[in-house]
Structure 1
């Protein structure tokens, strides 16, 4: 089970915009001239991902960003611990 990493409001917004984009792209795909265009199909895929993120309240990009920030924060303090800082006498 994945741990939710987005809030309730964020999830509701993702679901709402996901269904809106999904409906728009499907309506574009229903036209005969648009069936060969790849853009509505790509939009359907992206909208489906947003709907799934909203339902599960887990965003893979947010997870990767948070993990990256956690590692950078840890590495920053790890580097500082390696160096001994001598006291400075301002006089």
Structure 2
């Protein structure tokens, strides 16, 4: 697992993740519906983990999707060129 986000991006993710965790903790301590604060706590924890590890699964999937699309396009162009020769 190689880091795929930068240092500044990781600091932002850690900050926003802890902010989301603090908000959700404050809301969970009250007498409101726990569904939304619980979801925010999970998202905040995920953002903190992404910032600490400097690895984002969504960025990883997007990078590989683009790479596969480019490979497919290049492969189709090569097979088309082979058919013409």
TM-score, normalised to structure 1's length? Answer: 0.86
SS at match of 1:41: helix
When you count helix as a share of all residues, which structure comes out higher?
2
Larger radius of gyration: 1
Distance, in Å, in 1 between the alignment partners of 2:48 and 2:18 is 7
How far is the alpha carbon of 1:3 from its aligned partner? 0.4
Give unpaired runs (5+ residues) of structure 2: none
C-alpha distance after superposition, 1:13-67 (max 9, x if no partner) = 0000000110011001111x22x42110110000000000000000000000001
Match of 1:61 among 51, 58, 61: 58
The total of aligned residue pairs comes to 83
Give unpaired runs (5+ residues) of structure 1: 87-91
Cα RMSD between the aligned structures?
1.4
SS at match of 2:4: coil
Within-5 A mapping of 1:1-91: 2-31=1-30, 33-34=31-32, 36-84=33-81
Distance, in Å, in 1 between the alignment partners of 2:80 and 2:40 is 51
How far is the alpha carbon of 1:83 from its aligned partner? 1.5
